[in-house]
Amino acid sequence: MDFNEKLKQLRQNREWTQEELADKLFISRTAVSKWESGRGFPSIESLKAISKVFDISIDELLSNRELISIAENDKKRQKQKFQQLLLGILDCMVGLLILLPIFGQARGDGIAFVTMWQLYPEIPFLKTILMIFIILTISFGLYELVSSNRERKVNNEISLILTLIGILLFIMTRHPYPATYMLMILATKVGFLLKSQ
């Protein structure tokens, strides 16, 4: 008997609705419905909760094939979560551009390296664009950190696009050091994403 059939039988033996079982497991009713229809498996943590609620061992709930499938899915989810956390941290690191004195600005006969706060006192429009980009990237990085359990593909693409925009933005404003910094962040992201596939 497969897991979905066992779960349904155990629930019906206790005369519980899917909603009642979901409440006992602290999950949604749709998750129980999905498991009972054979469209997915619970996480390792949910399996432990099911085992405890029905006072049955995990070995009795699952076949070896199902257990391997759940372990692989759980490993994949953990890998995605770590990936999302790393991308979020890298996006938040763009905020260092506000504090680091790596922006070149003409002063007299030479060039001085200043922070973003000291940049372009005569052209506030460019400083505003750079600040909006940095704040947007930091906000997206924080979103990635908070929502690391959700769908990752779109977030990866947005993260890479933001970094590319940053590189182009700093190249167009003739700031090679911030552009290089963004290029290093992009290389780290791409390297990690390629390695994780």
Q: What is the pLDDT of residues 22-47, one digit of tens each?
A: 999 999 999 999 999 988 888 888 88
Phi, psi of 67 (to 5 degrees): -65, -40
- List Cα–Cα distances, 64 to 6, 11, 171, in angstroms: 14, 22, 55
pLDDT recorded at residue 135: 94
Share of the chain above pLDDT 90, in %: 41
Which pTM was predicted?
Answer: 0.68
Cross-strand pairs, 113:
104
Please report the sign of the dihedral spanned by the C-alpha atoms of residue 128, residue 130, residue 133, residue 136.
Answer: negative
If we measure between CA atoms, which residue out of 118, 189, 132 comes closest to residue 159? 189
Asked if 48 contacts 37 with a C-beta cutoff of 8 angstroms, the reply is no
pLDDT bin (cut points 50, 70, 90) of residue 184 is very high
pLDDT recorded at residue 122: 62
Angle at which helices 64-92 and 153-172 cross, to 10°:
20
